[in-house]
Amino acid sequence: MRCSIIPPYLLRAVAEAGPEPARSRARETLLVDAEVRRLREDARAPGWAAGAGEAVAALAPKRTVSDAHHGQPPGTVVRHEGGPATGDGAADRAYDGLGATYGFYAQVYSRDSLDGRGMPLRASVHVQRGWDNAEWDGERMLFGDGDGEVFGDFTSSLDVIGHELTHGVTQYEAAFDYQGQSGALNESMSDVFGSCVKQWSLQQTAEQADWLIGEELLLPGVHGVALRSMKAPGTAYDDPRLGGKDPQPANMRDYVETSEDEGGVHLNSGIPNHAFYLAATAIGGSSGEGAGRVWYAALRDRTLTPQADFAAFAAATLRAAQAVGGSAPGAVRAAWTAVGVEPTGS
């Protein structure tokens, strides 16, 4: 499974209305993304990584960063775990981002890497020339440098790194199908924990966080603050070069029925994203320790199927919230009610 941070509808908008060379870079990115999706089979791992999330001794990442030299990954290894900084900003930011994401999962959830069993973390930077994306390809992180007009370097955003690596966690846990509501849940899990990684790194509470995804990617001159807003889906940008106004819905009444973007996985993720924001701010404190602990337990709920919809996942969060106790059950139920989702069986 390949999961990219920039959805195809944004790339098409830049390809049609962006400035040069961004327009050409977006067209090339669409072609590259389509080709790699065609060539690569779904890398979803079968089954559940038993023991993931349980206490593990001596947790430590195993990172390797490679330079693709504006070509195909993986490229040349430039930094191993524990090695000195390279002086290449992209390579060193990727290394640090892998470490921050690993550290979040290890320290907050006692999870040893993406699979829960110490999986090495690999990344390639400078993929293609002016590639407008970052993605988890099922085995490693890939980072483009951006077009320099609309999108900047894709290693510059920690929540984007956390987002893409969380696709790996989902791959080894719920393995949500990348289509329709289950695909939107897949994307939402990545936004949720990508934001938690950034908040944890900055030592922010839910109330202090900006709840923006990819804030650092939009270059000066672009009318927008980020790729997505979990606090206010549909408000992240309004720029003709990005296709106009951010189209993400925040409520089921505005759910987007479409055959594009795998059934709107990047669009409709705004609904469960907003539910998490509401739950996290209602519970308060650290998002990772509060609502994040509920969402993480739900992600690992063995009753969920890969085809789970919003209602099924909401029910899983309620079960998890009951186990947590305190204000969590009421906050979680109120959050899903506010976005128009009725938990299955409740």
Under the banding of pLDDT at 50, 70 and 90, the label for residue 43 is very low
Q: Indicate the Cα dihedral angle 53, 55, 59, 62, nearest 10°.
A: -30
Alpha-carbon gap, residue 270 to 138, rounded angstroms: 23
Assess contact for 115 and 74: CB atoms under 8 A. no
The pairing of beta strand 121-127 with beta strand 141-143: parallel
| The predicted structure's pLDDT at residue 34 | 65
Give percent of the chain above pLDDT 90.
82
Higher-confidence residue of 142 and 26: namely 142
**Which residues are CB-contacts of 129 (< 8 A; sequence separation ≥ 6)?**
28, 70, 145
Q: Are 188 and 269 in contact (CB under 8 A)?
A: yes
Q: What is the pTM of this model?
A: 0.91
Give me the chain's average pLDDT, please.
91
- Res 219 pLDDT > 50: yes
Fill in the DSSP letter of residue 218. B
Q: Which residues are catalytic?
A: 164, 266
Take residue 312 and report the two structure tokens written for it.
Answer: 């099924």
Could you tell me the pLDDT band of residue 58, with boundaries at 50, 70 and 90? low
Upstream peptide bond of 74 is cis (omega within 30 degrees of 0): yes
Confidence category of residue 56, pLDDT binned at 50, 70, 90: very low
pLDDT at 1: 57
Residues 254-284: tens digit of each pLDDT: 999 999 999 999 999 999 999 999 999 999 9
Task: Decide if pLDDT at 48 tops 60.
Answer: no
Task: Report the C-alpha gap between 214 and 169 in whole angstroms.
Answer: 20
pLDDT of residue 2: 62
Q: At CA 340, angle to CA 337 and CA 341, rounded to 5?
A: 75
User: Which parts of the chain are beta strand (E)?
Assistant: 3-4, 63-71, 76-80, 121-127, 134-136, 141-143, 212-213, 228-229, 238-239, 244-245
> Which 8-state DSSP code applies to residue 69?
E
Domains of the chain, start order: 3-172 (3.10.170.10), 180-338 (1.10.390.10)
CA distances in angstroms from 186 to 180, 232, 266, listed in the order given: 10, 19, 9
> CA 173 → CA 79, 166, 247, 298, 330, distances in Å?
29, 10, 29, 10, 26
Chain-centre distance for alpha carbon 292: 14
Range with the lowest mean pLDDT among 17-21, 158-162, 262-266, 286-290? 17-21
Split at pLDDT 50, 70, 90, the class of 39 is very low
- Sort residue 157 into left (φ over 0), alpha (ψ -120 to 50) or beta: beta
**pLDDT score, position 35:** 57
What average pLDDT does this structure show over 213-237?
A: 97
Q: Is the Cβ–Cβ distance between 195 and 232 less than 8 Å?
A: no
Mean pLDDT of the 4-33 span: 84
Residue 52 has pLDDT above 60, yes or no: no
Of the pLDDT bands very low, low, confident and very high (cuts 50, 70, 90), residue 49 is very low
Tell me what pLDDT residue 54 has.
41
Confidence of residue 53 (pLDDT cuts 50, 70, 90): very low
pLDDT of amino acid 199: 98
